[in-house]
Structure 1
Amino acid sequence: MERVLQPALAGVVSAVVGFAGAFAVVLTGLQAVGADPGRAASGLLAVSIASGVVAVVLGLRWRIPVVIAWSTPGAALLVAAGPQPGGFAAAVGAFLLCGALIVVTGLIAPLGRLVAAIPGHLAAAMLAGVLLPLCLAPVQALAQVPLLAAPVIVVWALVARFARPWAVPAALVVAIAGILWTGGLPAGAAVAPAFVWTTPSFDPATLVGLGLPLFVVTMVSQNVTGMAVLAQYGFRPPWRTVLLATGAGTIAGAPVGGHAVNLAAISAALAAGPDAGPAEQRWIASVTNGVVLAVLGFTAGVATAVFAASPPVLLEAVAGLALLGALASSIASAVAEPDGREAAAVTFVVTAAGVGFLGLGAAFWGLVAGVAMTLLHRRRAQPANPRRVSSGPISGSRPRNAR
């Protein structure tokens, strides 16, 4: 009994921590790209159920702790992208593109190699630029609503000192208590979530400026990282099947507002690590995680009602606190290579500026600027040897960390 109870409890904890620590990011992101409260709740419900179903199916199939979650960095990207020219329908088209590209990556090996060829430090710099505006929200909240924000930040800091996984959920509880104390939920607030269909539109600028960066962020920051976490604990699920399943989950959830489904990273460590019991029983943790996450999805209506009753900057502050660790890791990865720091800085600055051109978002242009800087500097650094240069492709044109 204990062999089953320990991984099951680990699965419950990872699901609760993952949901409570990041649902504010999802709601903020969906509303930023044009979703009304009903569609935002539908999107949160969709990614919760899709993640849960995929986790249960893969866990039972392989008896491996394959923890599935929504793309938190992807949701932060939506915040940075802001309203789309074609409205939320165009954003849904970008979600579908992201899911389709994940499936195609699983089917076509060269596309997977192309994704792997994106310099890791540039992808990290782009993610850091995406996360920065949200991570500034706690400071902005402290200036705008100090009586509500100060207790949230203090509780987060204190709990992080002794029980880091529970720091953001504790901060969220304090934020909700403050919201209820200052006014409560609006009269007539809908607390039962329902799927709301949005017929997608395929605006070329949104597909390129939002869909492609969402795919890159989800692959690099979630799927690749999630596989690394599982490998660290000795688990290696079939890469192709993971991509096909998560891509299909993303496609299924997109028309009702779900932005992206992928391998979990942080919560995967909770369910796949030694605290989840014997290695051969840890698949129970991922299955339990999936079930609990799907059930928590039905609180999306309540979560959205609380979100609507809150000063916008307050729950953005909670989201920012949840993403501080990801920001720190992204910055560290971005500057890890001395030769690539300048290109990473360009990527970070262009992305964080939040300024789009030609209808394409800042994240896209940040990655383009970083790649251009990388190619320029590598070409300049070539040895002056005519025979060597003329004998083939430009030496060093491929990123050093490409596979």
Structure 2
Amino acid sequence: MPTEANNGIGEQAGKRPLDGLLVLDFSQFLAGPSCALRLADLGARVVKIERPQGGDSSRRLYLADLAFDEDSALFHAINRGKQSFTADLKDAADLDAVRRLVARADVLIHNFRPGVMDRLGLGWGAVQALNPRLVYAGVSGYGPDGPWRDRPGQDLLVQSLSGIAWLSGDGDGPPVPAGLSITDMMAGAHLCQGILALLVRRGVTGAGGRADVSLMETAIDLQFEHLSVHLNREEPMPARSQVANANVYLAAPYGVYPTADGWLALAMAPVDRLGELLGIDALGDFPPGRWFAERDAIKALIRDRLAGEATAHWLALLEPAGIWAAPVLDWPALRAEPAFDALQATQPVRSPDGAALTLTRCPIRIDGEILTSDRAAPRLGADRTAIERELDEGAAP
């Protein structure tokens, strides 16, 4: 059975790898909070440090006007299972309370622009003196140096600046950004990796450490496959395929093609064998050494043939022959698949009054078990009084 997260003080369930760790999450929007969310899924107790007026800005960042328990559904998706401690970091009394928390925390996460935490008295040097065992983690838009350091660190802007948006779309079309905030979420994953590595090192040395990532460095790393080629060849930007573009460096038939009733994705496959299966004799005229150089001509032949029959017809022909192919599903079609149910990929979370919201769950399984927690995101400041009482009483986090 799925196990529930250990988020309460004094609870010693010991069933998750990070049980007993206290994480302070100063971040907002997606990158930092997604990192803190994954630590919470793995058992850590995560306390969001939020402004008394409004809190995390994503509380009001509505997707399709979907709200739940006073805040946006997006806020719950990225902050479920956490606690909320409100503090005005420019107020001496509030800052003192936060510093008391920092002194007892295991991890601190922030995504302020470079220099802001230093001005607040919570920079790396200050907190290291306060808590030498602390793992201090920050995410920025473009790193601590360089002419872009103060630009807005926003996902679409980073996709555009980094070349990611340019990679998608057919050769005669405009750049197409990913439909997800990929640099935000991957930067959060990278930050989580750095934190876990430092926690392992702390277990050996007893000393904390600092991890920093940026959206731009994450965007560059996401393109390692393509950039590794580009950096080692004398070439301009590689050309996107004019037909069914899906990867600027892969040969035909790699791409997504329309069928009579939908779309079919074809991955790497021998073009001559594909021609035999699809009944396209002309594909036999292209030797393997030309499958990249002539990819648009090859793809056009495949495109025209696939358009004549339904997706299921082609799958029944190609899959038994070992050709890597898949239908392009929308969300209702995905949810109707038995494979989706088998993954148990969603979970309900509940507000204090019992209302339920369906969200995705942690994708990691520990010891074969799915990790779920039914706690919704916290209401703004809901846990400050209880946490201050714990600090006064000296209770262990």
| Same-fold call, TM cutoff 0.5 | no
Higher helix share: 1
The structure having more radius of gyration, on CA atoms, is: 2
The TM-score, its normalising length taken from structure 2, stands at 0.21
Q: Which has the higher contact order (CA 8 A, sep 6+)?
A: 1
